[in-house]
Each structure stands twice: as structure tokens, then as C-alpha cells.
Amino acid sequence: MAKKSRIKIDWLCNDGRSNPAPGTVKIAKCGVCGKQMNVKRNVLGATSWVESVGHGKHRHDRFTCPNINEDWHKRIYRLKTDVYQEEINNCDPIGLEKMRQAAEKEILELLEVHAVR
């Protein structure tokens, strides 16, 4: 059997940002590195590109991972979205599994180095 890592990868989680309705979420963890995210409560602003272009605003809590601008953090998110894209488009399950394993290996290595918990 394959060795189980102590870090579980959540493939479909937030990218280090989350904007729930005010007061609905107490603490949020980063979907990339697992750190507890910083929060600003009751922010008035846009939460999406579409909203910002349309000058829309609404109140929300703004969670942000303290590591969001780190290169390794962006790399992990990139790896995850690549696998996700492949999952949607791919008709070759073996290729997908190989890609997922390679991505998982790199993600775990990055986490071991940068986000030791």
C-alpha cells in the first residue's frame, strides 16, 4: 500500500481567499496551505471581477491567507487548478492519475518546506 501522507490535500477548496456573508463564518482555513486566514469583518466592496467592473458592492467578511502572495502558494494553487482542468477535459484516466500524483508530490514537498504545521 502507498504511504499515506499526514497532510491531506483538498483539491477543491478556496485559493487563500474567501468572502462569505458577514458573520456566517467564524474562522476559515486556507485551502492551499491550511493556515488560519486573516479576516476583516463587514467590508463593503466587490467580491468578484464582474462585480467590480459593474461597480457593484455588498457587505462581506474578507478572509485572506497570510501567505497569499508567496510564489510557492501561487504554485500550489496553479497545480491544483491544472489537475482540476484536466479532470474536466480529460478522457484518459491513467494520464490524469499520473498528473494528479505528480502534482500531489510537488504540493506536499512545497507544504513541507513552507507551511510546516
Q: Which residues bind Zn ion (CB under 5 A)?
A: 16, 30, 32-33, 35, 65, 67
Give the nearer residue to Zn ion in terms of CB position, either 19 or 67.
67
Give the nearer residue to Zn ion in terms of CB position, either 18 or 67.
67
Nearest approach, Cβ of 66 to Zn ion (angstroms)? 7
Nearest approach, Cβ of 33 to Zn ion (angstroms)? 3
Nearest approach, Cβ of 73 to Zn ion (angstroms)? 5
Give the nearer residue to Zn ion in terms of CB position, either 9 or 65.
65
3-state SS, one letter per residue, for 39-102: EEEEEEECCCHHHHHCCCCEEEEEEECCCCCCHHHHHHHHHHHHHHHHHHHCCCHHHHHHHHHH
Beta bridge partners, 49, equal: none
